[in-house]
A and B are shown apart, each in its own frame.
Chain A
Amino acid sequence: MIKSYKLKRGLVNAFIYILLAVLGIIWISPLIYLVLHSFRDEGLATVSYLLPKTYSFKNYIDLFTDTATLNFPRWFMNTFVVACFSCVISTLAVLMVSYSFSRLRFKARKPLINIGMILGMFPGFMTMIAIYYLLKAMGLTQTLVALVICYSAGAGLGYQISKGFFDTIPRALDEAATIDGATRNQIFWKIILPMSKPIVVYTVLTSFIGPWTDFILARIIMGDKRDNYTVAIGLYTMVQKEFVVNYFKRFLAGSVLVAVPISALFLFMQRYYVEGVTAGGVKG
């Protein structure tokens, strides 16, 4: 009896191993294809076999040296600068809004929370034409400043996750500090923020990653000004009809260069990511 139970469990586990292995290969193989072919030396866009025959760093070198038409290093720097600025501004905005909604009590709190929720339900880029004309009126279209503004202006609306975190810090701490004569300002900087390191890290990383992956807004704002592209629109340009034949391998190389650091950041913060998403979920 015990033997057959063991056998059955062994069979089930074997089945699961096989299934996981097959699915794992399906899931990972496009990424392996991406990496391998980014080193492919021969051929143009596509070849009629799966594994490259010759390997070299040529695609990567071309990406950084042949910058006359499509200037990848410049796009990389653009994205980096935009990401740094919008990261600082959005993090501050998110933390300020979530702290006020979580710890402070004032008349307009409930209405403001409701307004924030309703605003979040409109399709994000429905407003893009109006934003485009606003930026045009300010003389900012096709500039990196416009991108920073777009990425950080609405950041305050993404307060839910960090508000959920602040909610878990006991209010007794605030009360004790108030009795000791601390102002709300001091409580925010000296008590709550140092205790909220995970959520600060999470907010910083998500707002830093945002500009690397956004595609729609950057494309509308930059139009045909290729020098101010970010990597996302740049790489998109490389696989358009007029470039794909000559640039596909470089597209792969560029994708690897973007994907590696972003993936590393994500894997580093996935714990916070899951905590953030499920924290909102468990409460309902």
Chain B
Amino acid sequence: MKYIEYMQLNPFQRFWYNFSNAMKAFPGKLKNFFVAVGVLIANFFKGIGKAVAGYVTRFIKGDWAVKISYLIMGFGNMVKGQFIKGLLFLASEVAFIAYMVFFGWGYLSKFPTLGTEVPGMQLNPVTGGYEDVAGDNSMLILLYGVLTIVLIAIFFAIYFASTKSAYAVAQQVAAGEKPVSFKSEVKDLLDNKFHITLLAFPTLTISVFTILPLIFMILIAFTNYNSSHMPPGKLFTWVGLETFSEIFAMTEGASKGATFLELTKWTLIWAVFATVLNYLFGMILALMINKKGIKLKALWRTLFVITVAVPQFVTLLLMNQMLQADGAINVLLMNVLGLIDKPIMFLNSTALVARITVIVVNCWIGIPYTILITSGILMNIPADLYESATIDGAGPVRTFFSITLPYMLFVTTPYLITNFIGNINNFNVIYLLTAGGPGTENLYQAGYTDLLVTWLFNLTMNSLDYNLAAAVGILVFVVCATISLITFNLTKSAKNEEEFS
């Protein structure tokens, strides 16, 4: 379709045209994506192959000092005069071996079984009496096992670096140069290798407190770590995909599978409503506040934005109290306005009432955010677009759908996507407002307004179904990652980059 034809379509046809184009392009994009992943994996193995090849050639080409460095790290550096560097390499080797001998190996060797000896009083088959056995703790074996594997990976990286360094310094000496002094290498850390200095600390903390726990939790999803296998006292072990098949099992009643299905549906409905309503109404309000001829703009803006400024847990807990049977809202409706004669149970009567209530309250919380974010962008829409629309005789509704909305969608798509994913993971609103209620016997450890993430929280804190919680977490991650991948791709192809500039 030519550009001129495109311009003659109405906005819905345009949207449909863009959408169908994006859909047509989607299989290709998907293919490209998998090709990219394939290339990435191939490159990874190529990199490893290269490293191993370099490792072998350096050993063959290197002199005796380099060869010894393959066993005693840092030896080559020390012989050639790089004392401190060599000592650091040696120290890391000694520390690693000590760690493995006294601590790491014990846990790593039990990693495949996650422990076999049940602690507590056990019958000794040899003596025939009961003995107090220290036993294994599956949780600690898993945790320290993961830690040990991570440390081994780090050690191997250092080891490779040390052989490389020994070879490099040998080459330098052979070429008649002076080996680089330790001082100048440290200086380099503030200049050419400044990124190492800057990233060392954040990488360390993120590895220990984000990546390590994440690997641990992902592995938990493949074990039977739940309330009936709770260390210390009992062991848990690997069960493969059993937890996932439990989630996807289509059984009747308050099973885990049925609960997962129900909560997934509600989570998606919630996320769509929470995102779309807040976005549309927030934008309309922002347009009204910023309309030409409306006075006291600052007052109106502050009136709404002040609710964003108050910490969310305060407003949510307050709302929770106000929505109770004897809370302020029922008082208003019953005693002051006289509209009802008995209190409405907003949060704990039926699923539908509670669900509508949380969506409405979320509008109260979310719309000011949209006003805050969109006001500035709305002001930036080129005024001539509006002028020509008015000359062409378009009314305010028509201008909104033909100019404002497409422009805003164009600019704020990434914000919308993050917002949507944020709503899927919106723990605070649900937990502080309804705590998942109204409760029910039909769902496993969940109420009617529980989202997948609050269910995950209940499963860990109340029923101790750690394996199930971990599996749910992985599935939520997969959903979020897929949504962002797809929408980013869709909007990229639907985006006509030059349309508004």
A229-240, CB under 8 A of B: which get 1 and which 0?
000100110010
Contact between B313 and A236, CB atoms less than 8 A apart: yes
Using A27-B304, A48-B335, A118-B481 as known contacts, say yes or no to A251 and B317 having CB atoms under 8 A apart.
yes
Smallest CB separation, A34 vs chain B (Å): 6
B336 adjacent to chain A (CB < 8 Å): yes
Distance A222 CA – B327 CA, assembled complex (angstroms): 30
Confirm or deny: A225 has a beta carbon within 8 angstroms of a beta carbon on chain B.
Answer: no
For A215, list chain B residues within 8 Å (CB).
313, 428, 432
CA distance A32 to B66 in the complex (A): 76
Chain B, residues 192-203, CB within 8 Å of chain A (1/0): the string is: 101101110111
A266 located at the interface, meaning its Cβ lies under 8 Å from any Cβ of chain B in the complex: yes
Nearest B-chain residue to A105, judged by Cβ? B195
A61: Cβ under 8 A from any B Cβ: no
From the candidates A33, A125, A185, A258, name the one contacting B194 in the complex (CB within 8 A): A185
> Which of B140, B210, B304, B306: most chain A CB closer than 10 A?
B210
Given contacts A99-B198, A154-B209, contact A126 B317 (CB under 8 A): no
B358 on the interface (CB 8 Å rule)?
Answer: no
Main secondary structure of the interface of B (DSSP, over half): helix
Determine the chain A residues whose CB is within 8 A of the CB of B197 once the complex forms. 185
The complex places the Cα of A188 from the Cα of B476 at a distance, in Å, of: 39
CA distance A112 to B202 in the complex (A): 12
A68-76, A130-138, A196-204 - the one binding chain B: A130-138
* Contact status B194-A184, CB under 8 Å: yes
- A246 on the interface (CB 8 Å rule)? no
The answer to whether residues A270 and B372 also contact, given A127-B210, A258-B311 and a CB cut-off of 8 A, is: yes
Chain B residues, CB < 8 A from A137 = 140, 143
A153 CA / B477 CA spacing, docked (Å)? 21
A interface, over-half SS:
helix
Judge whether A84 is part of the interface by a CB distance below 8 angstroms: no
B238 within 8 A of A: no
Which residue of B is nearest A271, CB measured?
B376
Cβ contacts B361-376/A at 8 Å (1 or 0 each) = 0001000100011011
- At the interface, yes or no: B230 with Cβ under 8 Å from chain A? no
A273 neighbours in B (Cβ, 8 Å): 372
> Is A213 in the interface zone, CB < 8 Å from B?
yes
Q: A106-B195, A133-B143 are in contact. Are A255 and B206 (CB under 8 A)?
A: no
**Which of A123, A153, A252, A263 is in CB contact (< 8 Å) with B309?**
A263
Tell whether, in the assembled complex, residue A46 and residue B460 are in contact, meaning their CB atoms are under 8 Å apart. no
Of the listed stretches B20-28, B86-94, B98-106, B289-297, name the one at the interface; the rest are far from the partner chain. Answer: B289-297
Least Cβ–Cβ distance between B493 and chain A, in angstroms: 12
Max count, chain A CB within 10 A of own CB: residue among B220, B285, B328, B460: B328
Give every chain B residue within 8 A of A176 (Cβ-Cβ). none
Contacts of A150 in B (CB 8 A): 209
Using Cβ atoms and an 8 Å threshold, which residues of chain B touch A281?
411-415
User: Contact: A266 with B309, CB < 8 Å?
Assistant: yes
Task: Return A132 CB to nearest CB of chain B, in Å.
Answer: 9
Assuming A49-B336, A185-B191, is B305 touching A123 (CB within 8 A)?
Answer: no
B427 touches which one: A27, A216, A274 (CB < 8 A)?
A216
The answer to whether the Cβ of B217 comes within 8 Å of any Cβ in the partner chain is yes
Interchain CB contact under 8 A, A48 and B331:
yes
> Which chain A residues border B492 with CB–CB below 8 Å?
284
Q: Is B303 a contact of A24 with CB atoms below 8 Å? A: yes
- In angstroms, Cα B202 to Cα A100, docked, is 11
Residues of A within 8 A of B143 (CB): 130, 133-134, 137
Say whether B251 faces chain A, with CB atoms less than 8 Å apart.
Answer: no
**How many Å from the CB of A67 to the closest CB on chain B?**
21
Rounded to whole angstroms, the CA-CA distance of A109 and B102 in the bound complex is 36
Contacts of A45 in B (CB 8 A): 321, 326
Give the interface of B toward A (CB within 8 A): 139-140, 143, 187, 190-192, 194-195, 197-199, 201-203, 205-206, 208-214, 216-217, 220, 285, 288-289, 291, 293-294, 300, 302-315, 317-322, 324, 326-328, 331-332, 335-336, 364, 368, 372-373, 375-377, 411-415, 421, 425, 427-428, 431-432, 453, 456-457, 460-461, 466, 469-470, 473, 476-477, 480-481, 484, 491-492, 495
Q: Show 17 residue pairs from A and B whose CB-CB distance is below 8 angstroms, ordered by the A residue.
A: A13-B294, A20-B288, A30-B322, A34-B314, A45-B326, A100-B198, A122-B214, A134-B208, A134-B213, A153-B209, A154-B209, A156-B206, A183-B187, A235-B317, A270-B309, A273-B372, A281-B415
List 10 A-B pairs, minimum CB-CB distance, nearest first.
Answer: A156-B202, A130-B213, A263-B309, A127-B213, A126-B473, A153-B209, A184-B194, A185-B190, A266-B309, A183-B191
